[in-house]
Amino acid sequence: MPNTFFGLNIGTLGIHAANANLNVTANNIANEYTKGYSRQVANQQATTAIRVHQKYGMIGSGVEVTSVERIRNEYYDVKYQENQTRLGENSSRYYYMLKLEDLFNESKVDGFTEEFDNLYNSIEELKKDPSDLTTRNSYLNYAESFLEYLQEIKTDLKLEQEDLNAEISNNVNKINSLAEEIASINKQINVVELTGANANELRDRRSVLLDELSEIVDISTTETKYENGKSEFTVKIGGSTLVNNFDYYTLKVETRDESANPEDVVGLYDIYWSHGQEFNPVKLGVGGTLKGLLEVRDGNNGTVTGSQYSYAVEYKGVPYYINQVNEFLDSFTAALNEVHAKGTNLYGDSTQDIPVFVKSDQGKYTINPDIKDDPKLLATSYDYTDGVSQYDLVDELLATKNANVYNGGTASEFLQALVTDLAVDTRKAKTFTENYTNMQTTIENQRQSIMGVDKDEEAMNLVKFQEAYNLNSKVISVMAEIYDKLIQETGV
C-alpha cells in the first residue's frame, strides 16, 4: 500500500516532467534560426506502478522524462550531401568559366577585331607607297601590337589558372580543418553518450560540418553504435578514410616538378595524402568543388601530353583555351611568313629566309629584330626589279585576312568558335548549377519539415506544458491541504 504522501510525490514528478518539457521548448524557440539545429523533444513515460493489494490491483506512481533527443531523418541528410557535392562541382565550374567568358566577351572580342583590323589597314597603307619607311614601320608596329594583344589574352588566362591553383590549396586546407573538427566532435560525443545522455547539439554541429565537407568533395559516412552508448564514426572520400572516429588523416599539396600542359603556369599543385598516396578527384571520379576546380585548371579536352603529370581531362578548361590562342598565333604567323618568303626586299635580296615573325624558345612570338631595326628588309613585291612601287605581294598579304587557314576557317570564324566553346561550357555549368540549387532548396525544405523548429507548434507546446505545470502544482496544493487536515485535525 502506498504511503500517505504518495500523491505529493506524483505531483512533484509531474512538475519535474512539465518543467523539463518547458525547458526543451524554450531551447527550441531560442534556436529557431540556428544553422543545422534539430528540434528536440523530451520523451516521457509513466513510472513503474505500485501494487497496493487492493481489488484494483496496481496504482500509477507518476511520470518521468527518459531522454531528450533530436528529431532528424538521416535519409535527407544523405540526399542533401549528395546534392551538395554536385552543386559544389558545377558552381565552381560556372564561377570560373563565367570569368573566362567575361575575359573574352567584355573586351577581347571587340579588342581583337580592332587590333586585327588595324593590322590589315596598315598593310593596305603599304600599297600607297611600299618603299616608304614610315609606312613600313607602321605595319610592323601594328603587327607587334597585335602579337602583344594575343599575348595579353594568354597572360589573363594564366592568371586565372593561378587563381584556381590557390583556390585548390585553400580547399585542401579546409578539408583538413573540417576533418580535425569532426574527429574532435566524435570524441566529445562519446564522452557524453557513454553516460547515457544524447549529445544532440554536438551531433547537430557534426552534421553541419559534414554538409560543408560534402560540398568540397564526395563523402561517405558510417556510424556503429554499441549498447553501452559508445559509437564509432568514419568518413571516407574516394574510398580512403579521412576520419576514423577520434583519428583523422590530412591531405597536402605538392608543387609539380614539370608542367602537365606546355603552357601551364609554374607551381601548379597536385594533391596527396599525408602518407604519400596521390589523391586526384578527377581521376577517381570523386565529385565536389575540388573536382570542378581541377577540371577548369587542368582541362585539356582529352588531350594527353608527354609529361608524367598529364592525364586526359574530359573538360576544356584553361589549358585548352590557351592552346587555341597558340594555334591561332601559329596559323597567323605561318600564313604571313609564308607570303613574305616569296618576295624580295628593298636591297633586292630574297626574303625566303627572313621571316617577319619569329618564335622564342619560350613560345613567344615577336617581330624579327633584324626587320624591326631595318624596315628595308621587309618584302612588298615578288621581284625587286619590277620597281620599288610594286605591291603585288601586299595584295597576297591582304588576302590572308579572310583566308581559311585557321583550322579550316577565317580568323573571325576561329575566334567566334572559341567564344562559342566558352559560352556553351559556361551555359552548361550555369544550367546544372541552377538545377542543383533548386534541388538543394527542395531537399532542405524536406529536411526542415522534420528537423526544423515551427514557432507556432512551439508556442502551443509552451501553453500545453505551462498548463501541465500549473495542474501538477494544483495537485501538490490540494495534497497539502489534505495533509494539513490530516495532521492538524485528525487524532487525539
Q: State which residues form the domain around 140.
A: 77-318+415-442
Please calculate the CA angle 360-309-219 and round it to the nearest 5 degrees: 140
- Whether residue 228 is found in the same domain as residue 121: yes
Contact 331, 415 (CB under 8 A): no
How much is the pLDDT for 3? Answer: 64
pLDDT in tens, 262-278: 888 999 999 999 989 99
Q: Is the pLDDT of residue 192 over 90?
A: yes
Quick one: which of 150, 165, 156, 169 has its CA closest to 100? 156
- Whether residue 62 is found in the same domain as residue 83: no
* 376, part of any domain: no
How much is the pLDDT for 361? Answer: 85
- Whether residue 81 is found in the same domain as residue 66: no
* 154, part of any domain: yes
Q: Measured between alpha carbons, how far is 114 from 121 in angstroms, rounded to an integer? A: 10
Pairing of strands 247-248, 240-244: antiparallel
pLDDT in tens, 216-246: 999 999 999 998 889 999 999 988 999 999 9
Q: Higher confidence at residue 308 or residue 318? A: 318
- Whether residue 243 is found in the same domain as residue 189: yes
pLDDT band at 106 (very low <50, low <70, confident <90, very high): low
- Whether residue 26 is found in the same domain as residue 132: no
Q: Is the pLDDT of residue 293 over 80?
A: yes
pLDDT band at 475 (very low <50, low <70, confident <90, very high): very high
* 329, part of any domain: no
* 286, part of any domain: yes
Q: Measured between alpha carbons, how far is 212 from 478 in angstroms, rounded to an integer? A: 55
Contact 300, 320 (CB under 8 A): yes
- Whether residue 294 is found in the same domain as residue 436: yes
- Whether residue 21 is found in the same domain as residue 147: no
Q: Which residues pair with 270 in a beta bridge?
A: 254
As a whole number, the mean pLDDT across the chain is 90
Q: Residue 202 — φ and ψ, nearest 5°?
A: -65, -40
Q: Is the pLDDT of residue 368 over 90?
A: yes
Q: How many CB atoms lie within 10 A of CB 408?
A: 8
Provide the strand spans (E) within 314-405. 357-359, 365-367
Q: Is the pLDDT of residue 491 over 80?
A: no
Q: Is the pLDDT of residue 41 over 70?
A: yes
Average pLDDT in the 367-374 region?
94
Q: Which residues pair with 89 in a beta bridge?
A: none
- Whether residue 432 is found in the same domain as residue 311: yes
Average pLDDT in the 354-380 region?
92
Which percentage of the chain shows pLDDT scores above 70? 95
Taking phi first (over 0 means left), then psi (-120 to 50 degrees means alpha), and beta for anything else, what does residue 34 get? beta
Q: Which residues pair with 409 in a beta bridge?
A: 406
Nine-digit cell string for 126: 603599304
- Whether residue 65 is found in the same domain as residue 81: no
Give residues with Cβ within 8 angstroms of 88, minimum separation 6.
214, 215, 216, 287, 288, 289, 292
Average pLDDT in the 347-360 region?
92
Q: Is the pLDDT of residue 108 over 70?
A: no
- Three-class SS state of 59: strand
How much is the pLDDT for 258? Answer: 85
* 99, part of any domain: yes
* 207, part of any domain: yes
* 403, part of any domain: no
Average pLDDT in the 419-442 region?
93
- Whether residue 46 is found in the same domain as residue 148: no
Q: Which residues pair with 45 in a beta bridge?
A: 64
- Whether residue 249 is found in the same domain as residue 293: yes
Neighbouring C-alpha atoms within 13 Å toward the C-beta of 95: 14
Give residues with Cβ within 8 angstroms of 138, minimum separation 6.
122, 125
Q: Which of 47-56, 90-99, 189-198, 219-228 comes out lowest in average pLDDT? A: 47-56
Element containing residue 75 per DSSP (H, E): helix 74-103
- Count structural domains, the chain: 2
Q: Residue 406 — φ and ψ, nearest 5°?
A: -110, 85
- Whether residue 215 is found in the same domain as residue 273: yes
* 84, part of any domain: yes
Quick one: which of 109, 107, 26, 95 has its CA closest to 455? 26
Quick one: which of 490, 328, 348, 303 has its CA closest to 406? 328
